A = this chain, B = another copy of it.
């Protein structure tokens, strides 16, 4: 026996998820058909139902998967803070690296964030808000923010997240154009530095 039954099933499930991620890359999950996915995977359309109730429930699984990638990015950025590298250079490099490695996950989030079904949109919005909160607590540990109000920390965090979401989207749009990506990365670093200069000179109202 080369493969157990659960192994086979899991393999097919993975193939479905991967095929769906790839196929909806040029449009959106709402424009994806069950039959397209089945054909790409190499199973008959009805076989799809052995793994998911519908395209929508497949989408919810993709949301979970993609958020796992996003959290891995945050974890790596946080772990890097202790190192000797420059915070800006290191963080941007990690961002770029993760976007490359989990390209389809980040593209999925970027797309469904605005184009997905309302439930998916709301879930993503909420997760991004959690990211802002996490980043805010990290920022509180930075020198120069000791007398900041919690609100201002959250606001600064939101600013940084907005800018980095935009950077991730630009990197995705610049696929296979290394010279364009290099410019984007340089821009991202400069933007982060501008924001940090603003932060260092900021005084929260008391």
Q: What secondary structure prevails in chain A residues at the interface with B?
A: helix
> 5 pairs across A/B with beta carbons < 8 Å?
A155-B187, A158-B166, A195-B195, A197-B201, A201-B201
A27 part of interface (Cβ distance < 8 Å): yes
Closest Cβ–Cβ distance, residue A99 to chain B (whole Å): 14
B152 near A190 (CB under 8 angstroms)?
Answer: yes
- Say if the beta carbon of A57 comes within 8 Å of chain B: no
Copies in the complex: 2
Instruction: Tell whether A140 is near chain B: CB-to-CB under 8 Å.
Output: no
Q: A115 with B125: in contact, given A28-B30, A30-B31, A155-B187 (CB under 8 Å)?
A: no
Q: Does A61 contact B (CB under 8 A)?
A: no
CA of A85 to CA of B156, assembled, Å: 24
- How many angstroms from the CA of A187 to the CA of B201 in the assembled complex? 18
Whether, in the assembled complex, A102 has its beta carbon less than 8 Å from a beta carbon of chain B, the answer is: no
Kindly supply a per-residue 1/0 record for chain A positions 146-184, scoring 1 wherever the CB is within 8 Å of any chain B CB and 0 otherwise. Answer: 000000100110110011011001000100000000000
B202 lies within 8 A of A118 (CB): no
Closest partner residue, chain B, to A172 (CB atom): B114
A contacts with B, residue count (CB < 8 A)? 39
**Pick from B118, B165, B173, B202: contact of A194, CB under 8 Å:** B202
Cβ contact within 8 Å between B194 and A196: no
A197 and B187 form a contact (CB under 8 A):
no
Cα–Cα, bound, A114→B111 (Å): 5
Q: Which residues 108-165 of A have a CB within 8 angstroms of B?
A: 110-118, 121, 125, 152, 155-156, 158-159, 162-163, 165
- B110, B114, B116, B197: the one within 8 Å of A202 (CB): B197
B residues near A7, Cβ cutoff 8 Å: none
A198 within 8 A of partner (CB): yes
Cα separation A30 to B28 with both chains bound (whole Å): 8
Shortest Cβ distance from residue A21 to the other chain B in the assembled complex, whole angstroms: 14
Is the CB of A53 closer than 8 A to any CB of chain B? no
Residue among B30, B110, B194 making CB contact with A114, cutoff 8 Å: B110
Residue of B at shortest CB range from A115? B115
